[in-house]
Amino acid sequence: MAEENNNKQAAVSKPSAAKSGATAKAKPVPAKTSAAKTGVYKPAEVRAEANPFKDSKMGAVENWMQERFHILNPVIDYLRKKEVPQHRLSFWYYFGGLTLFFFSIQIITGLLLLLYYRPTEAEAFARFVYIQTEVPFGWFIRQVHAWSANLMVLMVFIHMFSTFFMKAYRKPRELMWVSGFVLFVLTLGFGFTGYLLPWNELAYFATQIGTEVPKVAPGGEFIVRLLRGGEEVGGETLTRMFAMHVVLLPGLVMLFLAGHLMLVQILGTSSPIGYKEAGLIKGYEKFFPNFIAKDGIAWLIGFGLLIYLAFVFPWEIGVKADPLAAAPDGIKPEWYFWAQFQLLKDLKFEGGELLAIIIFTIGALVWVLVPFMDKRASREQKSPAFTIFGLLVLAFMIIGTFRVYLEYGW
């Protein structure tokens, strides 16, 4: 009798997706075994159907997928239900996707460049010239990689500040912000490590200055040697920058990106504080397919801009680096480090560099911990103090960047 019950329950517990197609609605009932009473396990005679989809009316491909991946049905159902709020600031929701788009371009073009590049002091520059002048479409791939890097950094800045001002970091999205901040640092890391790879004069001396910065901090000597692979910037530095650029950073980005995007899907898109109560939400649109289609349009526009820039404003290769030569005038880092560069220049007094490092470190810590400090936002109340803080940070970046531009030009 007990066995008969077991068999009935085992039959109930088979996936019910066969008739309903993609969705398995009925909750499986755990099959009790007589083991609970006797301690002896007797296998049920009627087992769950090996192929619960064999009588289904699905197409061959869907059936093939369902047989293998039906466990993912609840996830797909969840994503189908996901909605994005529509309001006058919805425009800013496109920048996370655009960052992702330019990152994908980086992976593809970076892999193609890897086919020809060699990270040695003797060959790096020559290989760049070769890619640029000899390899079919090599110039195009290199230009797209260089421009897409710049656009990715620009997009990540816009995405970070827009989510900041919309207070999208507030409870329960704290970890979206923290993972995003890590991605921001990694993105800047890509820029820094990639800059040296062509092994030209400008990149060489800029890396010399850039890798020197930690020196004044406690334990900084160690970081400098770790980055350079020796006392000075040289072949060892190139190998290290290359390894970080093509292995370490992509790996870390993939890891944090997976977490970031998973949280985006689980927690959904936030609306600005007070919008719901004030009736400013015009409606909600489905993430699949509506929002993702609009994302696609944004990507097409981004792609158009990228191709235009690659054709019309090509990046130069410059002159091969000569470590024995004196540094030329006007050495400056990439534009996204200009604000920090300007601060270092402004604090050119005894202990000034250390002060700048302390300011950056405390600033970065406060920035990453904002979601945990902004208690008003987590209670869905406006938090003007944090808005002002964000405006000050933005002003620091824009003014610093503009001052470097005025002094050095582009």
Tokens of 268: 């959904």
Residue with Cβ nearer ligand HEM (167 or 228): 167
Residue nearest to ligand HEM (CB): 180
Judged by DSSP in three states, 83 sits in strand
Output the CA–CA distances (angstroms, integers) from residue 258 to 2, 48, 149, 264, 266, in the order listed.
47, 34, 20, 10, 12
Tell me the closest approach of the beta carbon of residue 28 to ligand HEM, in angstroms.
Answer: 33
Whether residue 106 contacts residue 304, with contact meaning beta carbons closer than 8 Å, is answered with: no
Contact pick of 24, 52, 73, 103 for ligand HEM (by CB under 6 A) = 103
Minimum separation from the CB atom of position 382 to ligand HEM (A): 16
Q: How far is the CB of 37 from ligand HEM (least distance, A)?
A: 51
Distance CA 334, CA 192 (A): 8
Supply the minimum distance, in Å, between the C-beta of residue 166 and ligand HEM: 6
- State in angstroms the smallest separation of the CB of 157 from ligand HEM: 8
Choose, by CB under 6 A, the member of 66, 132, 269, 378 that binds ligand HEM: 269
Dist CA 330 CA 387 (whole Å): 36
Candidates 28-36, 195-203, 262-270, 392-400; binding stretch for ligand HEM (CB under 6 A): 262-270
Which residues are CB-contacts of 304 (< 8 A; sequence separation ≥ 6)?
none
Residue type, 399: I
Establish if 100 lies at the interface with ligand HEM (CB under 6 A): yes
Residues 158-217 that bind ligand HEM (CB under 6 A): 159-160, 163, 168-169, 173, 176-177, 180-181, 183-184, 187
State which residue, 65 or 394, has the beta carbon closest to ligand HEM: 394
CB of residue 174 vs ligand HEM: minimum separation in angstroms?
9
Cα–Cα distance measured from residue 178 to residue 371, given in angstroms and rounded to the nearest whole number: 9
Q: Which residue, 34, 83, 112, is CA-closest to 290?
A: 83
Query: Which residue's CB is nearer to ligand HEM, number 106 or number 132?
Result: 106
Residue 200 CB, nearest approach to ligand HEM (Å): 27
Nearer Cβ to ligand HEM, position 181 or 205?
181
The residue count for binding ligand HEM (CB under 6 A) is: 26
Does residue 95 belong to the site contacting ligand HEM (CB under 6 A)?
A: yes
Q: Which is nearer to ligand HEM, 103 or 199 (CB)?
A: 103
- Residue with smaller CB distance to ligand HEM, 63 or 162: 162
Contact status: 249 vs ligand HEM (CB under 6 A):
no
Note whether 391 and 385 are within 8 A (CB): no
> Cβ 315 to ligand HEM, closest distance in Å?
22
For ligand HEM, the closer of residues 31 and 100 by Cβ is 100
Site string for ligand HEM, 286-305 (x = CB under 6 A): --------------------
- The CB-of-364 to ligand HEM minimum distance in angstroms stands at 11
Site membership for ligand HEM, residue 102 (CB under 6 A): no
- Pair of tokens at residue 383: 């938090």
Spatial contact of 340 and 353, defined as CB atoms under 8 Å apart: no
Task: Write out the binding residues for ligand HEM, residues 138-157 only, by CB under 6 A.
Answer: 156
Among 106, 270, 340, 401, binds ligand HEM (CB under 6 A): 270
Cα dist. 232→55, 131, 222, 224, 238 in Å? 70, 28, 13, 9, 11
* DSSP secondary structure string for all residues of 206-273: HHHHHHHGGGGSTTHHHHHHHHHSSSSSSHHHHHHHHHIIIIIHHHHHHHHHHHHHHHHHHH-----T
- Joined tokens for residue 363: 């600033």
**Alpha helices (H) in 2-83, listed in sequence order:** 2-12, 17-20, 35-38, 60-69, 73-81
> What are residue 85's phi and psi, to 5 degrees?
-70, 145
User: From the CB of 141, what's the least distance to ligand HEM, in Å?
Assistant: 21
Report, in Å, the least distance between residue 294 CB and ligand HEM.
11
Is residue 148 a contact partner of residue 304, using CB atoms and an 8 Å limit? Answer: no
Which listed residue (93, 128, 147, 336) binds ligand HEM by CB under 6 A? Answer: 93
Tokens of 140: 């195009």
Instruction: Please say whether the beta carbons of 184 and 253 come within 8 A.
Output: no
Interface contacts to ligand HEM, rule CB under 6 A: 93, 95-97, 99-100, 103, 156, 159-160, 163, 168-169, 173, 176-177, 180-181, 183-184, 187, 257, 260, 264, 269-270
